[in-house]
Structure 1
Amino acid sequence: MKTEFQAKFLQHLIQHPSERGFTLIELLVVIVIIGILSAIALPSFLNQANKARQSEAKTYVGSINRAQQAYYIEYGQFGASMASLDAGIDLETQNYEYTINGNRNGDAVIDAVARKEALKSYGGQVKVDGNLLKSLVCESDIPVQTAPSWDPADWPDCPIGFPRVNQ
């Protein structure tokens, strides 16, 4: 039975010579298409790790903003240090270094400076506006290792080069 199958298969190949496989051009076209697709997708894929690291800073700055608001409601002023806020956030992590500047011109400023060149830096601000406590979080346009330069006259906008992040 086995030899009969082999004979039929060989007869089929002889009768249909065009069904032997792919041509070199077809294989090259497939390789080029795969190369183009990987060139498009690879940078986006590699950037996902940095986005995950940057989400730490966004979350921490937002949490510190909320801790400043709670502190202000309880004590009538902004907290001057992370210890006074009792937020449970480290001032230094593997990716960012955080600084708090409370009671500066009637507001509180939080900076998250990137410790790695590929990461964006962040800043946050909490301010008393009439009877309301308002906050904002800003993200650098490009990866930088500097804090935003806050100007009280800019309120309620973020510093130049640090657009506002939607929360």
Structure 2
Amino acid sequence: MKSLQYIIVALLFVIVIPSMFRQSRKDKEREAINNLGSMNRAQSAYFLEQQKFSDSMASLGISIKPQTKNYDYSIRATPLAVFNYATPRKNGLRGYVSTVYLLVPNEQTGEILTTVLICKTKDDGRSNWSKIPRPAEPPIIRENGIECGPNTEAYGLLGGRGPGHTLLDTDSALAYNSLSYATAGQYDKALEAVQSINHADFKARALATIAIILAEKGQDDKALEVAKTVKDASYKQMALDASARYRNSY
């Protein structure tokens, strides 16, 4: 009789405990998803008013703490897109990155369109408990579409035609491909792609973002050179401010 009780207890332990752990993880990760959703909506509202994205949680007017028990939240804003990160503070949780991308304005209304892609890390760190959790890799541009980056997979997609992939119009694809080239250090190819963009506003945004990427990589002279070619004064100032900010941090 006792042996039967032990077997039942063992079975319950095998079945119930892992299930409870999975549910606990889902509850904790739901925090990240909900907060990123709030950040996305706040960024969209901020953009409608300011015509740019915010790199500050405070200016978004949302009550999300930059650090919680489970996640660190951060923002990387550029003239073309904003990356909202939820980085796990402990193993057993997945990292998330939610990106709001601008698309070329509608020809009839002139309204700037956006698309949102949320990606999560495939690995939650349980395979290596000594490994420090890292933020999810940002999405990548592949030819005429946006998709989740290496070691990540799509959580959800708005405005797309498939899991983890959304198609772009020609100018938007050129703009985001130029950023991919710049991130990879292929600056000549990045600038070549930008010159093929017909939409003036998108071309200016792309050039300013390339200048910011150069500044992030410590290439101040090249960043300033590219920033000076930006015709829109506000985007040019964003690039110059980024260059000064990163230069002072070295």
Q: TM-score range by the shorter chain?
A: 0.7 to 0.9
Asked if structure 1 preserves the Cα contact closer than 8 Å seen for 2:82 and 2:99, the reply is yes
1:159 to 2:159 alignment: no
Letter in 1 for 2:120: E
Structure 1 runs (4+) greater than 4 angstroms displaced: none
- The equivalent of 2:118 in structure 1 is 137
Matches within 5 A, 1:10-89: 24=1, 28-29=3-4, 31-89=6-64
Over the aligned positions, Cα root-mean-square deviation in angstroms equals 2.1
What TM-score results when the alignment is normalised by the length of structure 1?
Answer: 0.74
- The equivalent of 1:117 in structure 2 is 91
What TM-score results when the alignment is normalised by the length of structure 2?
Answer: 0.51
Distance in 2 between residues matched to 1:61 and 1:158, nearest whole Å: 16
Letter in 2 for 1:100: I
- Tell me the number of residue pairs that the alignment of Structure 1 and Structure 2 aligns: 141
Distance apart, 1:54 and its partner CA = 1.0
Letter in 1 for 2:116: S
Q: Deviations over 1:58-88 (max 9, x none)?
A: 1111111111111111111111211221122
Distance apart, 1:156 and its partner CA = 2.3
Q: Deviations over 1:44-64 (max 9, x none)?
A: 112222211111111111111
The 1:49–1:151 alpha-carbon spacing in structure 2 relative to 1, beyond 3 Å, is closer
- Give the structure with higher Rg (CA): 1
Distance apart, 1:38 and its partner CA = 3.3
Asked if structure 2 preserves the Cα contact closer than 8 Å seen for 1:62 and 1:137, the reply is no
| Among candidates 108, 122, 125, match of residue 82 of structure 2 | 108
Give the share of equivalent positions with the same residue, in percent: 28
Letter in 1 for 2:151: G
Distance in 1 between residues matched to 2:141 and 2:117, nearest whole Å: 15
